[in-house]
Structure 1
Amino acid sequence: MSKETLQGLKSVPYFSEVPDTALAELASCAAIKSYPKNSIIIREGEEGGALFIILSGKVQAYLSSANGRMVILSTQGAGSFFGELSLLDGEPRSASIAALEPTICSLILRLALKTWLKSHPDAASSIIRSLTQRIRSLTENVRGLALSDVYGRLVKTLYDMAVENENEWIIREKPTHQDLANIIGCSREMVSRIMKDLERGGYLSVERKFILIRRKLPASW
């Protein structure tokens, strides 16, 4: 059994209330797999069957269309997880996952989880609570897309990426304008125009490796 896998399981909200002894049994069923940078780990629409726990590296979840458009759903690092929906309902993958850097994951197959749940039925209640929290989070994301304009969605995304540092906020891993456009569902040109206007207004500065929000961004633009 990998200690990294056990620690990874502890970080998954599904299993937050499960005793270590029970988690150790599940961890013993896991396999470790490495993925090179830019590789596709999961493709939208393919058959599901495993829960992935990120032990190291970073991945991006996204949706894509036939004409090449992309919407970024999330970026996740070590201690996070993905693939849980197909693991539980047996339906095809709902999104694609790509490795943004060399990534190592621990995989737990659906059959192993089902067998484990028969021995630990109390864990099901923890899974249900975690799914409920994810649904609430998804509802808030949909609310933002439906009720906010492009500027409002961009501001929310910038603050979500930033960490507060005294009276300023810093985004340490600078996203490209295309990344931001893919997240909020607009054109790269529109993001570039808003970002440039905010720079000119002294609200933020874009450095080589990070973005610094110098003062509170306006509510509207």
Structure 2
Amino acid sequence: MNFQKLIDKGLKLKSYPKDSVIYEPGMQPRYVYFIKLGEVRMVTVSDEGKEFIQGVFKTGQYFGEPALLTDRPYLAFTITNKDSQIIAVNKEDFFALIKNEPDFSTDLIRTLSNRLFYKSMMLEELASEKAEHRLLTIINYLLNDIALGENLKVTRQELADMTGLRVETVIRGTKILAEKGLIKIIKGKIVKV
């Protein structure tokens, strides 16, 4: 996304410090949020306070569009993982982007399709009782987004939050998966090979 185009239209770039809440469940959607710099996680929180990460959005990505497109309240929290710079695009400007920018429209379809695939995959995995299988599925999914030889840049806690497992189970599970040759760990990091 060309952020300068958004800024030229008069849209404001806002800075959010780490751990800022952008929106919470139940709020009515007013914007789609474009990340110029930073990272945001989308989470649901259980009654016990445990976070389940539904997605992580990074520099160059956007979030909040499903609620805006369907005119339904947000279902999750979005919280900055690090200091971030974000442009909030209102409904009128967002629909103008869809209408007037064919490349953006194609990207939006691809983005929504990838998110739908991820949600379907995770629902299937959460129905599975085998922790190793859940863990291997999310690791393989995340490895698709990185180059050969790169480390997977998620923490054990984030893997736990994405799979609904405990951190201890993630630690044991990754060791077992590495011993079975299903993943490669170098210096404590999962690496794409």
TM range (shorter): 0.7 to 0.9
- Aligned residue number for residue 4 of structure 1: 3
Structure 1 counterpart of 2:135, from 134, 138, 154:
154
The Cα of 1:71 is off from its aligned counterpart by: 0.7
Structure 1 counterpart of 2:94, from 98, 110, 113:
113
Note closer, same or farther for the CA distance 1:72–1:117 as it changes in structure 2 (3 Å cut): closer
- Aligned residue number for residue 166 of structure 2: 187
Note closer, same or farther for the CA distance 1:119–1:181 as it changes in structure 2 (3 Å cut): closer
Note closer, same or farther for the CA distance 1:146–1:73 as it changes in structure 2 (3 Å cut): same
Deviations 1:42-101 (A, max 9, x none): 212222110101111111111112211211112221111101012212211122111111
CA contact (8 A) 1:48 1:91 kept: yes
Note closer, same or farther for the CA distance 1:142–1:86 as it changes in structure 2 (3 Å cut): same
Residues 1:205 and 2:147 are matched in the alignment? no
Paired with 2:178 and 2:106, the residues of 1 have a C-alpha distance of: 45
Note closer, same or farther for the CA distance 1:132–1:204 as it changes in structure 2 (3 Å cut): closer
Note closer, same or farther for the CA distance 1:153–1:60 as it changes in structure 2 (3 Å cut): same
Note closer, same or farther for the CA distance 1:201–1:142 as it changes in structure 2 (3 Å cut): closer
CA contact (8 A) 1:42 1:96 kept: yes
CA contact (8 A) 2:98 2:104 kept: no
Structure 1 or 2, whichever has the larger Rg, is 1
Deviations 1:136-177 (A, max 9, x none): 443233233334721111112223333453xxx5425241x2
The Cα of 1:34 is off from its aligned counterpart by: 0.8
Structure 2 counterpart of 1:69, from 50, 66, 75:
50
Structure 1 counterpart of 2:14, from 33, 36, 39:
33
Paired with 1:118 and 1:199, the residues of 2 have a C-alpha distance of: 44
Paired with 1:108 and 1:46, the residues of 2 have a C-alpha distance of: 16
Identical-residue share of aligned pairs (%): 21
Deviations 1:96-120 (A, max 9, x none): 1111111001111124335x37975
Q: Secondary structure at the match of 1:107?
A: strand
5+ residue gaps, structure 1: 7-23, 216-221
Following superposition of structure 1 onto structure 2, how do residues 124-163 of structure 1 map, counting pairs within 5 Å? 126=106, 129-130=109-110, 131-132=112-113, 134-147=115-128, 149-162=130-143, 163=146
5+ residue gaps, structure 2: none
